[in-house]
Amino acid sequence: MAFKNNSTREPIAGKAYASIKRRILDLTLAPGETLSEQRLAAEFGLSRTPVREAFKRLENEGLVDVVPQQGTFVSPIRRELVMDAQFARASLECALVRLASQKRTEHDIVLLLENLEAQERVAARGDFDTLFRLDEEMHEAIAAIARRPNIWSLISDIKIHMDRARKLTLRPDHIPTLLKQHKAILDAIGAGDPDRAEATMNEHLSFIVEHFDEFIAANPTFVREVVKSIF
């Protein structure tokens, strides 16, 4: 997947960073995996410098660990970072959903319900990647309905550590709960009930906190500090 240099597009170094980050967040690069500067540079068709710069940015975000004399590794999922991200996200989104319930239009509700129906369809066929994307789109739409679309960009930056843990929640036995919570949120918005909208959003975003130990028990290597190269 070599990157072509194009001055009208994102700089090559930024593309390398975005590609590696996306793989870390969707667990394609699992916690604890070794990141090979040389191999990634060859894959992207780059020198090692932009990959090294990408590693530095990711280290600053807490997604990569650079261990002297050992190498560079995908950071484990750290409880405190997940909990901090959840706290910040819930604080913002509960405020947003209150506003959305007061500002929503009939057209807004139609679009939200169409999104929910799409979630139900892809969940039925086990397409969890698309379900995750639709989930994100629903939350982003709520920010737009609240007339605070720029807040979603802040939330997206805040929730990166929560996102990795959230990927573990998309298991078949958890999907009915997820969809039920989404429906409750949309029902509250549609009813114009800010208190209920806030309560349902808070319950939804608390799911990861309440089940964190369960998720980690099912994926113990994702929180191990001892890492092992896969190359």
As a residue count, the chain comes to 231
Do residues 96 and 61 both lie within one domain? no
- pLDDT on residue 148: 98
Q: Are residues 202 and 137 in the same domain?
A: yes
Q: Which domain holds residue 60?
A: 12-75
CB 25, CB 12: distance < 8 Å? no
pLDDT of residue 213: 85
Strand residue runs (E) in the chain: 64-67, 71-74
Q: How many other CB atoms are found less than 10 A from the CB of residue 111?
A: 17
Identify the bridge partners of residue 67 per DSSP, sorted by sequence position.
71
Residues 71 and 83 both lie in one domain: no
Question: What local confidence, expressed as pLDDT, does residue 226 receive?
Answer: 38
Looking at 21, 55, 75, the residue that finishes a domain is: 75
- Are the beta carbons of 209 and 83 closer than 8 angstroms? yes
Please state, in angstroms and rounded to a whole number, the distance separating the CA atoms of residues 98 and 188: 9
Q: To which residue do tokens 């929730």 refer? A: 159
Q: What is the pLDDT of residue 3?
A: 47
pLDDT for the residue 7: 45
Nearest residue to 5 (alpha-carbon basis) of 36, 45, 33, 43:
45
- Rounded CA separation 124/225 (Å): 36
pLDDT along the chain (231 residues), means of 10: 48 84 94 94 90 94 93 93 96 99 98 98 94 96 98 96 84 91 98 99 94 83 52 36
pLDDT value, residue 225: 38
| Residue 117 sits in the same domain as residue 145 | yes
Number of folded domains that form the chain: 2
Cα angle 51, 220, 171; round to 5: 90
Shared domain for 93 and 105, answered yes or no, is yes
Q: Among 75, 92, 127, where does a domain finish?
A: 75
Judge if 67 and 83 occupy the same domain: no
Same domain for 90 and 119, yes or no, is yes
The pTM score is: 0.85
Strands 64-67, 71-74: pairing kind: antiparallel
